[in-house]
């Protein structure tokens, strides 16, 4: 697989994956790019082009096997394994993510929760005991952790990311309302809630 695939294609893959999972649940066996196009609001030739980046997934004109698409896209997305996840910051966003029902279905397992407030440390959230921030280092020594979810206030986000990376974490999912940067070889996805809200206000202003 090449790394030269555009961000736009990469960002469509999870959409395809979600769609395929829905089709599987409905008991659909085969799906054509034109059907996907109608259901997903994407151009059929774009779907075929996207799939061709990854080897095509099937013979054109015969439709795609839902099972094959699922297993291939899941492999590309790195979903054919499990990820141990810790949540840093047990505020409301953190708590919401700990209870995020889709996590477990998708192979992401919350193995630790950390906070620096003595009001929160020791509480149990969705069956997980909240540990003090000072315990992260020891925890990471004794447990394999793949991803750290940062749910701290804005001003602590970068230092939390730095700390996690210095302790060997290779993936950061950042919910603090500020982008964090990491060294090469570490992956980060910054969640931008306000950007989505601004796209909404933009669309609404066009309708007026």
Q: Show contacts with a second copy in window 39-68 (CB under 8 A).
A: none
Strands 147-150, 187-190: pairing is unpaired
Element (H, E) at 148: strand 147-150
Cα 80 to chain center, whole Å? 14
Do the beta carbons of residue 146 and residue 169 sit within 8 Å?
Answer: yes
Assess 142 for contact with a second copy (CB under 8 A).
Answer: no
Structure tokens at 174: 């950042």
Report the alpha-carbon distance of residue 133 to residue 145 in Å, rounded. 15
Stretch that binds a second copy, among 58-66, 101-109, 111-119, 128-136 (CB under 8 A): 101-109
Give the residue, chosen from 31, 173, 180, 182, that forms a contact with a second copy under the rule CB under 8 A. Answer: 173
Give the residue, chosen from 15, 34, 38, 135, that forms a contact with a second copy under the rule CB under 8 A. Answer: 15
The neighbouring-strand residues paired with 110 are 85
Stretch that binds a second copy, among 24-32, 44-52, 160-168, 170-178 (CB under 8 A): 170-178
- Residues interacting with a second copy, by CB under 8 A? 1, 3, 8, 10-11, 13-15, 17-18, 76-79, 83, 91-93, 95-96, 99-102, 106, 108, 146-147, 170-171, 173, 177, 185-189, 191-207
């Amino acid at each position: 697989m090449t790394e030269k695939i555009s961000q736009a294609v990469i960002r469509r893959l999870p959409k395809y994956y979600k769609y395929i999972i829905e089709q599987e649940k409905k008991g659909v066996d085969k799906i054509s790019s034109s059907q996907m196009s109608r259901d997903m609001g994407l151009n059929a030739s774009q779907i075929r082009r996207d799939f061709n980046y990854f080897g095509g997934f099937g013979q054109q004109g015969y439709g795609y096997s839902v099972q094959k698409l699922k297993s291939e896209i899941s492999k590309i997305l790195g979903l054919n394994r499990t990820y141990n996840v810790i949540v840093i910051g047990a505020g409301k966003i953190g708590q919401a993510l700990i209870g995020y029902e889709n996590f477990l279905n998708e192979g992401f397992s919350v193995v630790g929760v950390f906070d620096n407030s003595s009001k929160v440390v020791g509480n149990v959230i969705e069956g997980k005991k909240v540990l003090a921030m000072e315990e992260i280092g020891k925890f990471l020594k004794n447990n394999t952790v793949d991803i750290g979810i940062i749910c701290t206030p804005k001003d602590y986000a970068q230092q939390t990311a730095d700390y996690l990376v210095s302790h060997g974490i290779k993936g950061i999912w950042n919910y603090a309302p500020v982008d964090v940067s990491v060294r090469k070889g570490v992956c980060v996805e910054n969640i931008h809630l306000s950007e989505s809200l601004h796209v909404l206000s933009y669309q609404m202003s066009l309708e007026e």
